[in-house]
Amino acid sequence: MDPITKIESCTIVLPTKDIDTDQIIPARYLTTTSRDGLGEFLFHDLRIDSHGNAIADFVLNDPKSEGCGILVAGHNFGCGSSREHAPWALLDCGIRAVVSTEIADIFRNNSLKNGLIPIIVDTQTHQYLLQNPGINLVIDIAAATLTLPDGKPIAFPIDGFARYCLVEGIDQLGYLRNQLSTIEQFEKERSWMP
Amino acid sequence: MATAKTLFEKVWAEHVVVDESPDIPAVLYIDLHLIHEVTTPQAFALLKARGLAVRRPDLTLATMDHSTPTTPVTSFKDLAVVGAGAANQIDQMEKNCAAFGIDLLGFGSEQRGIVHVIGPELGATQPGKTIVCGDSHTSTHGAFGALAFGIGTTEVGHVLATQCLLQRKPKTLAINIDGTLGKGVTAKDLILAIIGEIGVDGGTGYVIEYRGSAISTMGMDERMTVCNMSIEAGARAGMIAPDSTTFDYLRGRPRAPQGAAWDVALTRWMALQSDDGAKFDKTLDIDASELPPMVTFGTNPGMVVGVDEAIPAANGDPSFRKALDYMQLEAGKPIAATGVDVVFVGSCTNSRLSDLAQAAEIMRGQRVANGVRMLVVPGSQQIKKEAEKLGLDQVFLTAGAEWRESGCSMCLGMNGDTVAKGQLSVSTSNRNFEGRQGIGARTILASPMTAAASAIAGHVADPRQYLR
C-alpha cells in the first residue's frame, strides 16, 4: 500500500444518520470476484433512479462534488454488513476520508486496511461541517489532526498502529506474518486444540 | 485471589498470542474460520498473488449460501444460478477451496446451508472458541459462549494466511433480561426490543453478554436469534454463557468432541461463565415479561414498535421523516393496518427448525391471503429434511406458501429472491435497510409467528390472535 500522510480536499456532505452498507453498495453488486471498479455502484440506489437516470438532488450528482475527496456523513456511518466492498467503492470514487460523529465498527476496520481514513469529530465540529459543504479541509494523518479553513487543527482519535501502517505504507499482513514463529509456539503450548 | 473475569475476558485471554500495547493491537488466535462465496474471492486472490498457502485449512469451513438460488429442485444439477456474476463467484469458490485444500460443503452436500446455521448444526461452533467469518452475522455463534464476530475481506486474508487477527480488546456490556416472555412473544421480539432500547449504535465498541432468566430458559435456536442481531446494535459480538442446554445441543454432533474428548471439553466449557463480581463496562436491565411481539416500522432495526401499537409520532429528525417516507407509513397509525405483499420466513436469524415450527403452528389449517407471496426458506439442507420429516413443508405448501432450498434468499436480494419495488415485505431476517430485499423494497422485520400471522391476514398481524 502507498503511504498516506496528508489529505487536502473539499467536502461532500451527506447528513443522513445511520447510512448502512446496503446504501453504500447494494448487495446485488457483490457478485464480483474483484475489488476494482466498484465506484460505479457507490450509493447506487440513491444516485440513480429506476430508469438509469441520475437523481439530480443527490449530492454526488452535484457538479460541485466533483473532485471532492472528503465525505462528511451523518452519525453512525457504515453500519450493517461487513462488506469491504463499501470502502472499495468509496475509494474507487475518489473518497479518501469519512468524517462523522460515529463510524460503525467493521466499516472503520475495513476502511483503515484500505487507506480510507475514518475520522470521528465532536458534535460541534460535525454541525459546522454539515452546514458548510464544499469547504477545504486538511487531514494530517501523522499528526492525527483535521484542520478547518480557519486554520484551527482539531485532533481526532486513530489507533496508533493503524496510523503507523498508513503513514509508512505498511500492510498489516506483513506484520502478522512476521509473528508466525510466535503463532506456532502458541499452537504448541495451548492447553486445548480447536 | 484472582480477579473476577467476564466470559468474554476468559475467552479473549485464552487466544492472545501477543499482548496488545498502546502501540500495537493484540494478535488474536482464531479457532474456526467460516467462509462463503461472496467475501472470499479477493482474499484468495491476495494469497495467490503473494504465493501464500492457507495456513490451517483444517480450521476453515466453507459453504455457499449468499448468491446461491433457493428455487426448489429435485436434483442439485438442476439448480440454476441467477446471473453471470453469481455463477462465477460460485465457480471461483469451488476452485479456490480445491486449490487450497479447504473442506467445502457445496452444492450436493447434505450439510450445505447458511454459514451461521451449519456451524452450530455440525457442532463446529463450540463454547470458548474464537470464530470469525466475512459476514457481520457471525455474532450468531456467540450463543454457544464463543467469541464470534464479522470481519472484512482483508482480514479474511489475514486469517487464511496466519490463523490470526490484529485486534483491540473491546469493552463489555452486560444485558440482564429477567421475566418470562409471553405467549406468542419470541427471542426475535426480545432482540428487536433491545435494539429499539439501545439504538443501532448502542453497542458500538462493545461485546454484549446476554444474561438472566429469560436467556437461560431459551433453547439454542432462540439464543442464536438473540446473538445474531447483536451487530444490528453495532456490537462487535454477543455472547451467552454455555450451560446444560448448550451441551445437550452439541452432544453427538459430527464435529463436536467425541468420547473421552467430550468429557475433557465439557469440564473446560463449564468454567466459561462470568465470575461473580466480574466488572462490565456497562450494564442494562430489561424486563421481558411485558413485551409484545415487536415489528420495525422504519429503515433500520432500531425503529421498532409493538405489533399492537401505533407508529410513533415524527420527532423532528429528518432521518426519521425520510425513513417513514421510504416505508410509505404514516406516524400515529397502527402498524397492524399495514398491507403486506410478501412474507419471508428464513435467514440466519430465523430459519432453524423451531422457527419453522413456530410459523407452521400459526399456519396450520390456514391459507396465505390472496395476493400475498410467502416464501419459507430453511437455513440448511438438514433443517429442510428434518422439517419435511415433521410434515412442516406440507403445512406451508397446503397454505399456499413456497417451500424452498436452503440459502440466504430474500434476506439480501442477491440470489434471485427479491421483493419488487414498492412492495411491502414482512420478513424474519435481520435488516430493514432501504433496498436490502430489492430496489425500493419496504421491509418490516418480525418473528416467524408474526410473519405467519401477517401472511394469513394480508396485513401486519398480531400472532397472539392466531394461537390456539
- Identical fold for domains B1-291 and B294-465, yes or no, is yes
* Mean pLDDT computed over A42-56: 95
CB contact under 8 A, B129 and A182: no
Q: Which residues of A touch B319 (CB under 8 A)?
A: 16-18, 74
Which of A50, A161, A183 faces B162 most closely, judged by CB atoms?
A183
Q: Does B433 contact chain A (CB < 8 Å)?
A: yes
Q: Report d(CA B322, CA A93) in Å as an integer.
A: 25
Q: Which stretches of chain B score pLDDT less than 50? A: none
Q: Which residues of A touch B24 (CB under 8 A)?
A: 160-161
Q: Which residues of B touch A78 (CB under 8 A)?
A: none
Q: Which residues of A touch B158 (CB under 8 A)?
A: 172-173, 176
Q: Which residues of B touch A164 (CB under 8 A)?
A: 23
Task: Write the CB contacts of B200 (distance below 8 Å, at least 6 apart in sequence).
Answer: A18, A76, A79, B232, B233, B234, B300, B301, B302
H or E stretch including B282?
strand B282-287
pLDDT of residue A92: 97
Average pLDDT, chain A: 96
- CA-nearest of B293, B70, B304, B99 to B202 is B304
Residue pair B93/B327 in contact (Cβ under 8 Å)? The answer is no
CB contact under 8 A, A173 and B162: yes
Position A140 pLDDT exceeds 80: yes
CB contact under 8 A, B27 and A183: yes
Which among A44, A50, A91, A109 is the top mutation candidate for probing chain B, defined by the most B β-carbons within 10 Å of its own β-carbon?
A109
Q: Which residues of A touch B135 (CB under 8 A)?
A: 81-82
Position A113 pLDDT exceeds 70: yes
pLDDT of residue B92: 95
CB contact under 8 A, B24 and A22: no
Q: Does B32 contact chain A (CB < 8 Å)?
A: yes
Position A117 pLDDT exceeds 80: yes
* Mean pLDDT computed over A124-133: 98
SS3 per residue for chain A: CCCCCEEEEEEEEECCCCCEHHHHCCHHHCCCCCCCCHHHHCCHHHHECCCCCECCCCHHHCHHHCCCCEEEECCCECECCCCCHHHHHHHHCCCCEEEECCECHHHHHHHHCCCCEEEECCHHHHHHHHHCCCCEEEEECCCCEEECCCCCEEECCCCHHHHHHHHHCCCHHHHHHCCHHHHHHHHHHCCCCC
Q: Report d(CA A166, CA B121) in Å as an integer.
A: 41
pLDDT of residue A23: 97
Chain centroid to Cα B11, Å, comes to 21
CB contact under 8 A, A18 and B200: yes
Q: Report d(CA B373, CA A35) in Å as an integer.
A: 36
End-to-end CA distance of chain A: 34
CB contact under 8 A, A50 and B268: no
Which of A28, A34, A82 faces B152 most closely, judged by CB atoms?
A82
State which amino acid sits at residue B185. V
Task: Count CB neighbours of A133 within 10 A.
Answer: 18
CB contact under 8 A, B151 and A109: yes
* One CATH from 3.40.50.460, 3.30.300.280, 3.90.180.10, 3.30.499.10 for B294-465: 3.30.499.10
pLDDT of residue B374: 98
Domains of chain A: 6-189 (3.20.19.10)
Shortest CA gap A165–chain B (Å): 11
CB contact under 8 A, A83 and B31: no
Which among A84, A180, A189 is the top mutation candidate for probing chain B, defined by the most B β-carbons within 10 Å of its own β-carbon?
A84
Residue pair B161/B44 in contact (Cβ under 8 Å)? The answer is no
Q: Report d(CA A90, CA A25) in Å as an integer.
A: 9
CB contact under 8 A, A79 and B200: yes
**Could you tell me the sign of the dihedral formed by the alpha carbons of B397, B65, A104, A54, in that order?**
negative
Alpha-helix runs per DSSP H in B125-181: 153-162
Which of A26, A79, A186 faces B201 most closely, judged by CB atoms?
A79
Query: In sequence order, what are the beta bridge partners of B148?
Result: B131
CB contact under 8 A, A109 and B152: yes
pTM: 0.97
Residue pair B311/B303 in contact (Cβ under 8 Å)? The answer is no
Closest CA in chain B for residue A15? B319
pLDDT of residue B316: 86
Which of A22, A45, A161 faces B431 most closely, judged by CB atoms?
A22
pLDDT of residue B81: 85
CB contact under 8 A, A110 and B265: no
Q: Which residues of B touch A178 (CB under 8 A)?
A: none
CB contact under 8 A, A194 and B31: yes
DSSP-derived letter for residue B465 is G
Residue pair B209/B171 in contact (Cβ under 8 Å)? The answer is no
Enumerate the domain spans of chain B: 1-291, 294-465
CB contact under 8 A, B31 and A75: no
CB contact under 8 A, A22 and B85: no
Q: Which residues of B touch A112 (CB under 8 A)?
A: none
> Does B1-291 carry CATH code 3.30.499.10?
yes
